[in-house]
């Protein structure tokens, strides 16, 4: 056997320091430091990954919204950290919302009878369609056509006429409000504040109101109240989650609370206002009143057939100025001959000082009630014994100014009368429209009955009875069309046709205001405002 001998050069080298204990300890410490550095790097990487995962999760969760949630992804908020790109993304969001609004509008437009009104271009909630004094309405003025969809349509008419008082200042102190598509407008404005084209559909929700100011700054109080009441009710509806309980989300307590809050917040000292509203949510109609304005529901039943002779007489009656008579003027031309029949339902109580429950409260708080013997409805609350002055005015037929007292027992504002028993609390009635339709056979087979509501200030109803007013409005809404054509079959999308109908309806409204005014302009005429709107049952 051969033995291999390794030379010194071929043997494995041994480090000289292998046997040095200090050197070995140093190497161990270096390895430990290296392991710690590696651990720090690994933990830092894991922490960064975890943080990135959390951020991604938050972004994803931010975009998962509840259907009622108005939140937007954080990069679309005004305080975005991502610079100029925010405006572009906000525009994209608005376009998306506009498309959704358009889809909703297209669904509403399936019905033939509607009026499209831009209602959210306002500084406050919804839009209070401004009343236009009938003295400014001239059919030959093309610029007035802009107002027609707001003040008259197939479904409503809204009229106001300034009085001729000398004191306070000669301004119209009445306010009239129409907010069609009330719930829809409220939803959209809450979410994005975009312009809303509301549909004035007889089946849709709505808010209507008449506010009659009095005192030196009564017009300012009326304007304040007309803006605050619908806005505050809307806020309460949203807080009470009306969507989950639509039929009963508006309660009597909520409306009363709103009236009291608005009264408490009136910033004007010298003046007050009535508040008469109707609010429809679903198939429930809420009627609330403080003051002496009038509201009620009307059922119109058309005749089996129309008399062409009466149709012509009625057209001549509307066209003929009041007081203009000649040898050819017959007594038939002096009145309106409604061919259908109207019945009045749910007329409100006007809050006058002479009513027993009102008088009792006023006198218990130190106020006085003066009741003219020839006209108890013109009763006044006073804080001084001026009954002799009141009697003298009544006998002489002179005007009774504000110095004679307050002609209502409830109002919003009127700080100086609060201690004497004037309160803002409204009477509230809730009507189930399904039950109303059923009890009155509105929806029975073969029935052609129509339902509309009326609200008006005392300037109208102090002069004309509710039946008289209802007959004129029913004629304008249902009988004044050509050839007795049923307006429900008309194509309201034709703007020219709609304008023609609105013009005729406004002529009826102006005739009614004229017939409620004194024959001589030298006689006192109060501000006069009224609104009528057709109502249909929601399916």
- Name the one residue in this structure whose structure tokens are 């549909």: 199
Closest CA to 206 of 145, 127, 261, 123: 127
Residues forming beta bridges with residue 299, ordered by sequence position: 343, 451
Residue 127 contacts residue 119 (beta carbons within 8 Å): yes
Separation between Cα atoms, residue 96 and residue 469, nearest integer Å:
46
Q: CA dist 333 to 253, 356, 483, Å?
A: 49, 42, 20
Topology adopted by domain 109-324+332-351+408-535: Phosphatase 2c; domain 1 (3.60.40)
Separation between Cα atoms, residue 367 and residue 371, nearest integer Å:
13
Rounded to 10°, the helix 218-239/182-191 angle is 80
Query: Could you tell me which residues come within 8 angstroms of residue 373 by beta carbon, excluding any fewer than 6 positions away?
Result: 394
Residues forming beta bridges with residue 214, ordered by sequence position: 272
Q: Which two tokens stand for residue 527?
A: 């501000």
Rounded to 10°, the helix 308-319/495-515 angle is 70
The per-residue pLDDT for 110 is 41
Element (H, E) at 428: strand 427-432
Separation between Cα atoms, residue 335 and residue 496, nearest integer Å:
30
The per-residue pLDDT for 111 is 41
Residue 157 contacts residue 503 (beta carbons within 8 Å): no
Residues forming beta bridges with residue 310, ordered by sequence position: none
The per-residue pLDDT for 439 is 95
Residues forming beta bridges with residue 369, ordered by sequence position: 381
Burial of 406 (0-12, 13-18, 19+ CB in 10 A): buried
Per-residue pLDDT of the chain (539 residues; tens, 9 = 90+): 444 454 444 444 444 445 577 777 777 777 788 878 877 788 877 888 888 887 877 766 555 544 444 444 444 443 333 344 444 544 555 555 555 544 444 444 444 455 656 554 444 444 455 556 776 665 444 444 445 667 888 889 988 888 887 765 678 889 998 888 887 666 665 555 555 567 788 888 899 999 999 988 889 999 999 989 998 998 888 787 766 555 556 788 999 999 999 999 999 888 999 999 999 988 999 999 999 999 999 999 999 889 889 999 999 999 888 876 665 667 777 899 999 999 999 999 999 999 999 999 988 888 888 888 877 777 877 765 444 444 434 433 334 443 457 889 999 998 888 888 899 999 999 999 999 999 999 988 878 899 999 999 999 999 999 999 999 999 999 998 754 444 444 444 456 677 778 888 888 999 999 999 888 777 888 889 999 999 999 87
The three-state secondary structure class of 112 is: coil
Separation between Cα atoms, residue 475 and residue 487, nearest integer Å:
12
Q: Which two tokens stand for residue 529?
A: 């405002």
């Amino acid at each position: 056997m051969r033995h291999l001998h390794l030379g010194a050069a071929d043997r494995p080298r041994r480090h000289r320091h292998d046997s040095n204990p200090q050197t070995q300890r140093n190497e161990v410490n270096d390895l430990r430091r290296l392991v710690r550095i590696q651990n720090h790097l690994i933990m830092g990487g894991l922490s960064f990954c975890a943080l990135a995962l959390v951020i991604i999760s938050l972004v994803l969760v931010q975009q998962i919204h509840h259907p009622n949630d108005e939140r937007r992804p954080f990069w679309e908020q005004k305080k975005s950290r991502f610079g100029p790109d925010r405006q572009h993304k906000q525009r994209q969001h608005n376009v998306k919302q506009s498309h959704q609004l358009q889809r909703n509008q297209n669904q509403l437009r399936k019905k033939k009878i509607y009026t499209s009104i831009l209602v959210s271009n306002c500084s406050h909630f919804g839009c209070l369609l401004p009343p236009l004094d009938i003295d400014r309405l001239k059919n030959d003025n093309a610029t007035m056509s802009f107002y027609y969809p707001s003040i008259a349509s197939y479904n409503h008419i809204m009229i106001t006429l300034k009085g001729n008082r000398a004191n306070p200042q000669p301004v119209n102190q009445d306010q009239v409000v129409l907010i069609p598509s009330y719930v829809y407008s409220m939803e959209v404005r809450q979410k994005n504040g975009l312009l809303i084209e509301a549909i004035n559909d007889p089946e849709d929700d709505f808010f209507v109101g008449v506010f009659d100011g009095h005192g030196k700054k009564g017009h300012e109080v009326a304007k304040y109240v007309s803006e605050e009441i619908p806005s505050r009710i809307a806020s309460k509806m949203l807080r009470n989650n009306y969507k989950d309980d639509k039929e009963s989300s508006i309660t009597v307590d909520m409306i009363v609370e709103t009236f009291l809050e608005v009264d408490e917040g009136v910033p004007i000292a010298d003046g007050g206002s009535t508040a008469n509203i109707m609010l429809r949510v679903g198939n429930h109609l809420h009627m609330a009143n403080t003051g002496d304005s009038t509201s009620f529901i009307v059922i119109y039943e058309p005749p089996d057939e129309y008399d062409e002779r009466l149709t012509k007489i009625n057209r001549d009656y509307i066209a003929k100025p009041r007081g203009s008579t000649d040898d050819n003027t017959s007594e038939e031309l002096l009145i309106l001959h409604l061919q259908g029949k109207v019945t009045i339902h749910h007329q409100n109580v006007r809050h006058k000082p002479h009513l027993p429950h009102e008088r009792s409260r006023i006198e218990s708080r130190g106020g006085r009630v003066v009741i003219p013997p020839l006209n108890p409805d013109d009763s006044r609350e006073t804080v001084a014994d001026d009954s002799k002055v009141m009697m003298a005015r009544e006998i002489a037929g002179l005007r009774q100014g504000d110095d004679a007292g307050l002609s209502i027992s409830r109002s919003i504002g009127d700080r100086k009368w609060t201690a004497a028993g004037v309160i803002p609390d409204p009477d509230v009635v809730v009507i189930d429209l399904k039950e109303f339709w059923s009890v009155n056979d509105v929806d029975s087979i073969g029935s052609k009955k129509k339902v509309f509501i009326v609200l008006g200030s005392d300037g109208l109803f102090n002069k004309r009875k509710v039946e008289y007013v209802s007959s004129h409005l029913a004629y304008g809404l249902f009988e004044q069309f050509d050839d007795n054509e049923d307006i429900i079959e008309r194509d309201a999308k034709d703007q020219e046709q709609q304008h023609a109908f609105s013009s005729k309806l406004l002529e009826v409204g102006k005739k009614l205001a004229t017939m409620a005014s004194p024959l001589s302009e030298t006689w006192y005429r109060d501000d006069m405002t009224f609104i009528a709107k057709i109502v249909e049952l929601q399916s």
